[in-house]
Structure 1
Amino acid sequence: MKKFYSSLIFLLLLTLGIISCNNDDQLEPDFISAEINEKNWNGIPEINVNNVNDTLTLLGSGNEQVVFFKIKYNGEGVYNLSGSQANFYTTVSGDVITSLYTLGENTSSQITITEHNLEQNILKGNFQISLIQKWSNPENNVNLLSFTNGQFKVTITE
């Protein structure tokens, strides 16, 4: 009988250990990704939520390229972008800007916040934007950048 209880306790502890390990495996790292003119792009996201003026700023940087969003944040939902609410720029060594792309007047662009988990401070969403070249040095022939299948997951830090 003692052996039965010992085996039962062992199985219970083993089951609890497996369940707790599975929960750790489900943690998804922060990311931002998109297809830019049909080429895959991945970056590291940064976010700032200013509760005083309800502004959400999302930045994604990778491979000397930076995408930037700034919206008046009202929770989950679709945000149509205009003016200076989104842009993209390229750099050399992260500090010299070599090209700038901004929202055009006749382009359709939006960011959607699909989940805001207040308990875990996690924000998830997707985006699609079309940006027009404002300037480039050296000159390049890419006048329009089309971001499709954009997705992000980011942890809000205090």
Structure 2
Amino acid sequence: MKKYTFTLLALATVLFSSCFKNDNNNNTGFYYDPYFVAEKNGLAVYAVPFSAKVGTDSIQVSGRSNDAGLRMNFKYTGKGTYALTGNQAKYYQLLGKDTVSRYNVGLDTSSKVQIVALDSINKVIGGTFTIKLKRTFPATSSIYPDSVKFTKGQFVIALPR
């Protein structure tokens, strides 16, 4: 009798589990493998992708490495192009734990982020970016360039919850 009970329970489990919809296979055509890459002044750079909430209606998309980081803040509303000005994009360089240079967009109007892919089920976005930044720290330097340009930027990142 115990054999039949165990067999019946196993069969019921298989039948019931096959009836439920598998939410992991949402067929959105969007594969989530996070990355953050760009060309900085013509050289390819890779960073660890991060995202965060900023206030109640904005997000931050960033890429960080051991010696530098790039952050972009914008009011996210879905797919589309977002212009970046002022302090909405920042780049910094580190030496150990010390910040040795900082850059921001300032008045430049050509910097932008474009969200081109969205998986609303898994809360993942993919996009591109082009950013021109001016040095704000140190005020003068013979070591750090006056400006930095990121082109061909791409990322796939989870939306902050």
TM norm structure 1: 0.75
Q: Secondary structure at the match of 1:85?
A: strand
Q: After TM superposition, give the deviation of residue 92 of structure 1 in Å.
A: 2.2
Q: Secondary structure at the match of 1:99?
A: strand
Residue number among 44, 48, 56 corresponding to 1:53 in the alignment: 56
**C-alpha distance in 2 between matches for 1:62 and 1:73:** 24
Q: Secondary structure at the match of 1:84?
A: strand
Amino acid at match of 1:43: A
2:101–2:144 contact (8 Å) kept in structure 1: no
2:59–2:160 contact (8 Å) kept in structure 1: no
Return closer, same or farther for 1:79/1:27 CA change in 2, 3 Å cut-off. Answer: closer
Q: After TM superposition, give the deviation of residue 40 of structure 1 in Å.
A: 0.7
**C-alpha distance in 2 between matches for 1:72 and 1:153:** 17
Are 1:146 and 2:149 counterparts? yes
Unaligned regions of 5+ residues in structure 2, if any? 1-26
**C-alpha distance in 2 between matches for 1:67 and 1:28:** 21
- How many residues align structurally? 132
User: What value does the CA root-mean-square deviation take over the aligned residues?
Assistant: 2.3
Amino acid at match of 2:102: L
Partner of 2:120: 118
1:99–1:136 contact (8 Å) kept in structure 2: yes
Higher alpha-carbon deviation: 131-140 or 75-84 = 131-140
Return closer, same or farther for 1:138/1:144 CA change in 2, 3 Å cut-off. Answer: closer
**C-alpha distance in 2 between matches for 1:105 and 1:111:** 16
Q: After TM superposition, give the deviation of residue 29 of structure 1 in Å.
A: 2.3
Q: After TM superposition, give the deviation of residue 107 of structure 1 in Å.
A: 4.7
Residue number among 37, 43, 58 corresponding to 2:41 in the alignment: 37
Q: After TM superposition, give the deviation of residue 122 of structure 1 in Å.
A: 1.0
Partner of 2:100: 98
Unaligned regions of 5+ residues in structure 1, if any? 1-22
Return closer, same or farther for 1:96/1:141 CA change in 2, 3 Å cut-off. Answer: closer
1:101–1:133 contact (8 Å) kept in structure 2: yes
Q: 1:78-130: CA deviations, max 9, x gaps? A: 0011111001001123x321100111314510000111211122110000000
TM norm structure 2: 0.73
